Amino acid sequence: MTDLLIDPGAAHAIAEGRHGDPFSVLGLHKRGGKWVVLGFDPGAERMFVLPGKAGKPVEAVAVKGAPGLFVAELARKSDYRLRWQGHGAEWECEDPFAFGPVLGELDEYLLGEGSHKRLWQVLGAHVITHEGVLGTHFAVWAPNAERVSVVGNFNQWDGRRHPMRRRGGTGVWETFLPAIAEGEAYKYEIRGPGGVLLPLKADPVGFGSEHAPKNASVVRQIDNPTWHDGDWMASRGAKQTIDAPISVYEVHLGSWKRAPGDRMLSYTELAEQLVTYVADMGFTHIELMPVSEYPFDGSWGYQPVGLFAPTIRHGTPNEFRAFMDAAHQRGIGVLLDWVPGHFPTDAHGLGRFDGTALYEHQDPREGFHQDWNTLIYNYGRVEVSNFLVSNALYWLEEYHLDGLRVDAVASMLYRDYSREAGQWVPNKDGGRENYEAIAVLQNMNITAYGEAQGVMTVAEESTAFPGVSRPVNHGGLGFGFKWNMGWMNDTLSYMHKDPIYRRYHHHQMTFGLHYAWSENYILPISHDEVVHGKGSMLEKMPGDGEQKFANLRAYYGFMWAHPGKKLLFMGCEFAQGREWNHNQSLDWHQLEIPAHQGVQNLVRDLNRVYREVAALHVNDTRPEGFEWIESNDAEAGVYAWVRKGHAGDPMVVALVNMTPVDRAYRVGLPAGGHWTEILNTDAAVYGGGNRGNLGGVEAEAIPHHGRPHSASVNLPPLSAVWLRQG
């Protein structure tokens, strides 16, 4: 009978795991005018078909030459279950090959076109009820594979047991596995071209992962979330514009603070401890270094494998949502570092995913990052572009992220990035610009701003590429903001110098104003400035202990009064003494030392005044908000400027003395009357000498600096003083 019901070649291919379309063979089919069930389990010795709700079991016949393959004839078409026996055990299950496809025609069309905005809703692992049965639907893109199977503990990691169904020309494979539930670990076993068996692959659209060093994907339910941040979501747009005060605290979750036993904090603990701290410090936003799942701690998350999975190091997806919820309820926005520039070569990752250069370029001149030994996405492939843009939207929609800071944008924009002549492939016009990557970034920004109300995007871009924060319809990349790397490099270079030599480098501190309005800038003191032997912010400062602290306080006073939004890496707010180490907690015990406590007090007040005083933030990105009073006094090492808000807002004059000399400095003022000293980095509460102006100064009708009014202001050594009109 079996010879009439199944082709021997197909039977052998099923048993050996080589059949490219097992759904055409296994399950319930009509053959020779009869309804037959073919089942396969390589660990079974007998199979029974249990038809209907109370049908009599039908014992199947083993197919000769195909161990584990059985065939049974039914009297009529019927629902059924399978009962297996083998090695002294008996088990029952739904037949996974009895279920029809899950993906619809529209999904198939959008997947094939590479235009599915919410790719995560159709790919990955989803716990669903399908045809009345609870289980998990798996779907993955592997167009050049000869066979794809889901494997896990549930099938002894045997790819013969649960091969998937190919969906037409989309390159997508799918299957529904009954009884597979939340928390199940799985991977994909893929036979590439020529039947080559590849290393087991994690799910590119998996929502969860095992704890390192294990690296399987984990089924996680992310549907039907519970949120309590409706007020924040409705109002956040106004808090993320170029007119808003934006002060960002950059955080590496694994080393901000550790629990007893040197354990990383959970998302639940961070929702209480980190959110409370950030609120107390007055930062408006938290920026998370990447939390997309990554295999190597030393990459700090910048070499992700699971782009759709919040790292399990701190908890589950819903616990990460709870962290987001807690931040929003405290009025704090959260930005996520997003890494579309490259991915690691780990065998379980995206590299040669289906046996071919699928996500990456075949040519290493286009597809391999020499600096980081990573692979570069093939941005010109519509499915890859779709994967990345959809991932950006995923974080914004599913986790209520308030924005994305895109890592290493410069490396994406230029084909010759960090390459010598002959090591890169020009674009179609013979140039160095990466048109395809530019299109991905533009599409990401269009999608983010178009689909997620009130978000912001930020580019870490270190070149003079034009229009990074210009709208796409005006020829730009479409980002909301750009990190001002030039400002950071110039000013830190100046601050590193002994004050006696600063007169020769005076305009390193003023040069940023020549281009300050060319983009919507954020001034970044990020993690990159306190690693790899660069030392801490405190270590960068010249002088003895007291002078180091005074220099740092003066620099922060300069930064917070300078046009541009603010970003400060964790630990810099209390002048941590040593360089950042991702493997251990920040040195919170240093806050027992008054000088460190003083810097923390200063940053808290800088944030408060920056938020409260409109002149310091409303025109952060517009020239009408800034005017130099004195930019050329290199001998005195003094800088003075005006910050202006809306018409009628009190103006602020900032003065910075970058020498260790106490100065009575006459400064021209833009208006007469009283000017209140609202901040002085030499205040005793900040660790300074408490030298100031007794609460303010009176503008005298003495012309100076080209202005009809002026005042003599006491500028303590290495300090910043802010005066507010009125």
Confidence at 554, pLDDT banded by 50, 70, 90:
very high
Listed range (197-211, 309-323, 361-375) with the worst mean pLDDT: 361-375
- Average pLDDT, stretch 358-370? 94
Task: Provide the mean pLDDT of the chain.
Answer: 96
Own/partner contacts of 704-707, CB < 8 Å, gap of 24 or more, are 704/666, 704/667, 704/668, 705/629, 705/630, 705/640, 705/667, 705/668, 706/668, 707/629, 707/668, 707/669, 707/670
Q: Could you give the angle at which helices 317-329 and 267-281 cross, rounded to 10 degrees?
A: 20
Q: Let me know: does 658 contact 639? Beta carbons within 8 Å.
A: yes
DSSP state letters, 647-690: TTSPPEEEEEE-SSS-EEEEEEESS-EEEEEEEETT-GGGTS--
- Tell if the pTM clears 0.85, that is, is over it: yes
For residue 329, report the phi and psi dihedrals to the nearest 5 degrees: -70, -15
Q: Let me know: does 267 contact 326? Beta carbons within 8 Å.
A: no
Q: What angle do CA 426, 431, 435 make, to 5 degrees?
A: 80
Confidence at 6, pLDDT banded by 50, 70, 90:
confident
- Average pLDDT, stretch 452-459? 98
Active site residue 79: no
Cβ contacts of 30 within 8 Å, gap of 6 or more: 36, 77
What the block records as the tokens of 162 is 């649960």
Confidence at 9, pLDDT banded by 50, 70, 90:
confident
Name the catalytic one among 337, 354, 460, 519.
460
168 compared with 679, residue with greater pLDDT? 679
Question: Could you read off the pLDDT of 38-66 as tens digits, one per residue?
Answer: 999 999 999 999 998 777 899 999 999 89
- Average pLDDT, stretch 368-397? 96
Q: What angle do CA 530, 534, 537 make, to 5 degrees?
A: 50
* Per-residue pLDDT at 4 exceeds 70: no
Q: Let me know: does 278 contact 286? Beta carbons within 8 Å.
A: yes
Cα gap 194→196, rounded to integer Å: 6
Active site residue 90: no
- Average pLDDT, stretch 133-145? 97
The structure tokens 């994406």 sit at 412
Cβ contacts of 558 within 8 Å, gap of 6 or more: 491, 509, 639, 654, 656, 720
- Average pLDDT, stretch 581-608? 98
**Segment (H or E) for 81:** strand 80-86
**pLDDT at 197 (0 to 100):** 96
Instruction: Compute how many other C-beta atoms are within 10 angstroms of the C-beta atom of residue 4.
Output: 11
- Average pLDDT, stretch 598-612? 98
- Average pLDDT, stretch 415-432? 95
* Per-residue pLDDT at 660 exceeds 70: yes
R_g (Cα) of the chain, nearest Å: 31
What the block records as the tokens of 270 is 């961070």
Cα gap 32→423, rounded to integer Å: 61
* Per-residue pLDDT at 623 exceeds 60: yes
The residues pairing with 653 across neighbouring beta strands, listed in sequence order, are 642, 723
* Per-residue pLDDT at 541 exceeds 90: yes
Name the catalytic one among 407, 573, 620, 649.
407
The three-class DSSP label of residue 595 is: helix
What the block records as the tokens of 412 is 């994406």
Cα gap 701→392, rounded to integer Å: 57
Q: What angle do CA 137, 139, 141 make, to 5 degrees?
A: 180
Question: Could you read off the pLDDT of 253-266 as tens digits, one per residue?
Answer: 999 999 999 999 99
